Amino acid sequence: MKLKLWQIDAFAQKPFEGNPAAIVPLEEWLDDARMQKIANENNLAETAFFVRKEDGRHDLRWFTPAVEVPLCGHATLASGWLIFSELAPDLQSIAFDTKSGTLEVKRGPDGRHQIALPSDTLKPYGDADYAARIAAALKTRAPKEVYVGRNVFAVFENARDVRAIPGPGTIESLIEPGFGLIATAPGDDGFDFVSRYFAPHHGIPEDPVTGSAHAALTPFWSKRLDKKQLKARQVSPRGGNLDCIDDDGRTLLSGACSLYLKGEITV
């Protein structure tokens, strides 16, 4: 069986920035084991598979190299970009039916399309000892605050602290299976906030640019900074910029995409 595959850098102005996603359009679903093997072979943070249902509506699923995940922002943006750019260029919006509900992608100016994600709700988590254990695991300073939603959410004093984290370290031992760790701080260089995302349980030591994490980051910093529209920078080694809007229970994210590869796989 031969399938078409696109590799697209999301939240990127040009190749080698942002977060790469592999996109595989299907006529009908493959079995889960085969999709997982394709994602493992691609060895990117996510491989997205979608099946067209009708004009402007698709079913969409995402796989890391290790597991299927319930929500992924950058591969949703990349899937929308592919449909707008090559598969259905007359469309202005796309609805993706997913395990996290229906996600909409709207065509934007200059290829900066917008996705809508369900916002995450945070609550305080752990204590001073847990914050110290995070610091030891990451080999960095202790976060000032720790919360939990769909991930553990650690707030550091400044952007330098987040940039200085050398990697995921031994954080896997401190977070439950299925969770990742968001590290964030007030922004610099014109950004409202910065972040990084570590997901060793998902087979992703560090994700370059994480749309789903911004579904927690955006409402948190919107409330903290008392503003609805924010500019974000994920300060991973690749890095990426996101325009974020807190929209009363939804998080709206906009960013550019860049095509890296178009080809065919044999499975």
If residue 125 lies in a helix (H) or strand (E), which one and from where to where?
none
Paired tokens of 242: 């996101």
The residue annotated as part of the active site, out of 17, 27, 46, 206, is: 46
Distance of CA 159 to the CA centre of its chain: 20
- Give the other-Cβ count within 10 Å of 258's Cβ: 19
Verify whether residue 46 is a known catalytic residue: yes
In whole angstroms, what is the distance from residue 39 CA to residue 30 CA? 12
d(CA 237, CA 213): 17
The single-letter code of the amino acid at 51 is V
Strands 101-106 and 57-63: unpaired
DSSP secondary-structure letter at 37?
H
What are the distances in angstroms from CA 217 to CA 85, 111, 242? 29, 24, 11
Q: Provide the residue type at 159 as one letter.
A: A
Determine the Cα–Cα distance for residues 108 and 105; give it in Å rounded to an integer: 9
Question: 120 is written with which tokens?
Answer: 């995450």
Q: Which residues are the active-site residues?
A: 46
